[in-house]
Structure 1
Amino acid sequence: MMRKVVNGKLYDTDKSELVYTEEEGKRWLYRTKKGNFFKAYSTNDIVPITDEQAKEYLGEHDVEKYIEYFGEPEEA
């Protein structure tokens, strides 16, 4: 469990949805009940990220999760 207040908002891994775990288990991507994304690190740091940053991250790491949260991307 990690909890941290960042910019006046509480980020709590126990109350958020785990979206993605890196294979090394040192970084996790979560989404709060209000739909805000944040990264949690094994160093107990929590870093809020924008939807665009979450899109980029999931696009690089887990295409199925990208589609689940942001819809089917346009073909290149």
Structure 2
Amino acid sequence: MIYVDTKNMVKYDTDKMELVSNKVKYTCKNIFGLTALRSGELYKSKKGNWLGVVQKDLEKEIGTVDEETVKKMLMKYDVDKYEEIFGELEEA
């Protein structure tokens, strides 16, 4: 799947990116304006850029994700992957 970030003028190709997690969730608004939590995927490019993909109704919604948001999402939904990428979290 191809996504072009027109703000930064770069192309993302999920076939060439690493699928980091398919356990993450995204908050989306439906056609009625109601908020829903949807399952999605998180990809990382070879240059370290992040891309989020979520199935929304009949189409996929795609967008870039900053690293701080990635950390929060992985801590919440896929802690094993977080620790693999960013290091182990301190025990309470």
Q: TM-score range by the shorter chain?
A: 0.7 to 0.9
Mapped to 2, the partners of 1:11 and 1:45 lie a distance apart of 14
Runs of 4+ residues deviating >6 angstroms: none
Gaps of 5+ in 1: none
- Percent identity, aligned pairs only, is 42
TM-score normalised over the length of structure 1: 0.84
TM-score of the two chains, using structure 2 as the length reference: 0.71
Instruction: Point out where structure 2 has 5 or more consecutive residues left out of the alignment.
Output: 25-37
Number of aligned residue pairs: give it: 74
| Residue identity matched to 2:66 | T
Q: Which residue in 2 is equivalent to 1:55?
A: 71
Residues 23 and 78, structure 2, Cα contact 8 Å, conserved in 1: no
Contact 2:50 2:66 in 1 (8 A): yes
| 1:5-41: CA deviation from partner (whole Å, max 9, x where unpaired) | 0121111110100011138x95111001111111012
- The residue type paired with residue 50 of structure 2 is F
Which protein is richer in strand relative to its size?
Answer: 2
Contact 1:16-1:32 within 8 A present in 2 as well: yes
Inter-partner Cα distance in structure 1 for 2:61 and 2:13: 11
**CA root-mean-square deviation:** 1.9
Amino acid at match of 2:22: T
User: Larger Rg: 1 or 2?
Assistant: 2
For 1:72, the aligned partner's letter is E
Contact 2:53 2:62 in 1 (8 A): yes
